[in-house]
């Protein structure tokens, strides 16, 4: 029985053999796919880790590494006494992340968004439309350079997707008084005009950078690198803000009183060539961006050139003295005040008759200087004009400066030479005229003018004979004395050498009915310290001569400047010499 029982069991084992083989085949197939997948993953890992590791590192860094700019403060601009003319104050910019805004509820709480628009001075619907029109953007500015109070209000609104960014804003304590000279910066903190633009790189410095790694929650988990910022360098100018204020107040009042188009005043240090003041009216407030108009922002002292008229007559006399055409005692016959010349006429405002050089300047005789110019080589006259700075840039490195028009032609008529001697046929800027008189006041020693003190080598040169310069200065002193054309330019207590000028404005085809009027001079004559030029453009009314319009302004500016600079009066010395 045991044998029979075993046989069926054996037969059963034989029947199950195919299924075992079938299961084993499936096992190997599954094992093959598992090994293939494993090898594929290993190959992929090897490709990523060994052959091309940079791409994923880059992708990871894009999601976790942030670079934060560390802004540098713009350098302070100050005057010669350290008074600030331009400083940077901390402000903030308001920006929006539209993606975050719509991800966290969008504009549901509309009243708070309206409050944001109100505090920023924006139209309510305009703000909503701006965000709706930029739904896919991650950064848009809503308002730049807002005050700390406004920034705190925005912060308290706690609007999702609204952020604040630290910035700085330029503030100008002197306002419109020094606006043309100092200039102004744009919304991004770079200079647009004046010293701010010319020395932008010096003032700006270099921004720093901090690179960090953040986790998904915005927490800093690693400080990668730090580039220290380089602060902007301060800049000290040669101007004196006290003189700026005096000159600006005087020229602004003159423009208003005579309903003039504009006016300018320049003060130079005779000994060093430093610019002590440079003002224009009308001016603008650099702290108010709505007041930035191109017509007001132009620094007319260097951008506007004019025919100088009678203010160049002292240099004609100097050229005559240096070329031996005339001496101190030379007498010139100006006749009855009219001199026919080449089909035209040279006229004097008042008859002078026979006069010496002092009287020619004192009475501002056109005929007198015309005869001197015709007696000398033309190159001598043009050379004198060029030697004192006419037709040349000042070297101040200020934007928009013009060199004027310096005549250069092959043929000259006698009438053209005559008109050149009393200031027609060439154009100069107020700064160039002030520089010429500063050279005269420095007894012929030419000092390059500058607005920033530096330790550069001495570029001064003697361009006029010292004795001749002293002689012409003494002649110009009589112009401010009784009987002269510049009596209103006199300053009580001081000896002043000055010359007035009045020239018609050139128009198409000739000259119009509008005038430039000016007064230029130096003081004190015993030891000249400052050169002053005042110009008024298109004064209205019956009084349009340089002596009556620009003369009083010159006197006011010169008086205030001499007192502020603590220059001792020399009137008593003058009386003793007489």
Q: Which of 379, 309, 368, 310 has the alpha carbon at shortest distance from 339?
A: 368
How many degrees, rounded to 5, is the angle at CA 343 between CA 337 and CA 344?
40
CA-CA-CA-CA dihedral for 345, 351, 356, 359, to nearest 10: -110
Residues ≥6 apart with Cβ < 8 Å to 270 = 438, 441, 442, 522, 528, 529, 530, 531
**DSSP states along 164-222:** EEEEEEEE-TTGGGSHHHH--B-TTS-B-SHHHHHTHHHHH-B-EEEEEEE-TTS-EEE
**Of 72, 88, 264, 310, which residue is the catalytic one?**
310
Does residue 282 have a cis bond before it (omega within 30 degrees)? yes
Burial of 459 (0-12, 13-18, 19+ CB in 10 A): exposed
- Bridging pattern class, strands 235-236 and 77-78: parallel
DSSP code of residue 47: I
Is 245 known to be catalytic?
Answer: no
Token pair, residue 5, equals: 């029982």
3-state SS class at 59: helix
Q: Where would I find the H helices in 224-323?
A: 241-257, 294-297, 300-303, 313-322
What ranges make up the beta strands (E) of 27-181? 65-70, 77-78, 84-96, 140-146, 162-171
Catalytic residues: 310
């Amino acid at each position: 029985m045991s044998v029979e029982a075993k046989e069926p069991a054996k037969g059963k084992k034989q029947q199950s053999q195919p299924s075992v083989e079938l299961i084993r085949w499936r096992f190997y197939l599954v094992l093959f796919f598992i090994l293939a997948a494993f090898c594929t993953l290993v190959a992929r890992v090897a490709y990523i880790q060994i052959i091309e590791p940079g791409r994923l590192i880059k992708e990871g860094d894009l999601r976790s590494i942030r670079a934060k700019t560390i802004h540098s403060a713009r350098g302070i601009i100050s005057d010669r006494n350290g008074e600030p003319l331009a400083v940077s104050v901390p402000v903030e910019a308001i920006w929006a992340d539209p993606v975050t805004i719509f991800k966290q509820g969008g504009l549901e709480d509309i009243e708070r968004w309206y409050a944001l628009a109100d505090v920023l001075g924006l139209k309510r619907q305009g703000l909503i439309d701006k965000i709706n029109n930029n739904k896919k953007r991650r950064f848009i500015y809503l308002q730049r350079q807002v005050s700390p109070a406004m920034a705190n209000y925005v912060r308290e609104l706690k609007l999702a997707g609204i952020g604040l960014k630290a910035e700085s804003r330029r503030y100008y304590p002197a306002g419109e008084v020094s606006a043309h000279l100092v200039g102004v910066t744009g919304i991004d903190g770079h200079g647009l005009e004046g010293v701010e633009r010319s020395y932008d790189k010096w003032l700006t410095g270099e921004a720093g950078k901090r690179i960090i790694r953040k986790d998904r929650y915005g927490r800093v988990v690693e400080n990668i690198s730090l580039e220290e910022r380089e602060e902007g360098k301060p800049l000290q100018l040669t101007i004196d803000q006290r003189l700026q204020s005096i000159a600006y107040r005087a020229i602004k009042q003159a423009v208003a009183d005579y309903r003039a188009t504009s006016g300018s005043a320049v003060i130079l240090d005779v000994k060093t060539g430093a610019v002590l003041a440079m003002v224009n009216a009308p001016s603008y407030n650099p702290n108010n961006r709505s007041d930035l108009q191109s017509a007001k922002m132009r620094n007319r002292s260097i951008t506007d050139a004019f025919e100088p008229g009678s203010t160049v007559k002292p240099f004609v006399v100097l050229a005559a003295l240096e070329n031996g055409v005339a001496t101190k005692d030379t007498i010139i016959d100006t006749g009855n005040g009219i001199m026919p010349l080449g089909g035209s006429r040279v006229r004097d405002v008042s008859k002078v008759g026979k006069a010496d050089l002092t009287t020619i300047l004192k009475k501002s005789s056109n005929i007198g200087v015309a005869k001197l110019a015709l007696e000398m080589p033309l190159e001598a006259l043009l050379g004198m004009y060029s030697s004192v700075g006419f037709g040349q840039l000042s070297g101040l490195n200020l934007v928009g400066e013009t060199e004027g028009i310096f005549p250069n032609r092959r043929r000259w008529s006698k009438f053209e030479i005559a008109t050149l001697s009393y200031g027609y046929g060439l154009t100069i800027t107020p700064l160039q005229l002030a520089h010429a008189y500063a050279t005269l006041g420095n007894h012929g020693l030419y000092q390059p003018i500058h607005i920033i003190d530096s330790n550069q080598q001495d570029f001064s040169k003697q361009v006029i004979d010292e004795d001749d310069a002293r002689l012409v200065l003494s002649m110009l002193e009589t112009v401010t004395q009784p009987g002269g054309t510049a009596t209103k330019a006199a300053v009580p207590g001081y000896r002043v050498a000055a010359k007035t000028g009045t020239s018609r404005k050139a128009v198409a085809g000739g000259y119009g009915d509008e005038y430039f009027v000016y007064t230029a001079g130096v003081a004190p004559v015993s030891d000249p310290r400052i050169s002053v030029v005042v110009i008024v453009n298109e004064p209205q009314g019956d009084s349009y001569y340089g002596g009556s319009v620009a003369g009083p302004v010159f006197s006011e500016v010169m008086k205030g400047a001499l007192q502020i600079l603590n220059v001792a009066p020399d009137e008593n010395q003058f009386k003793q010499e007489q």
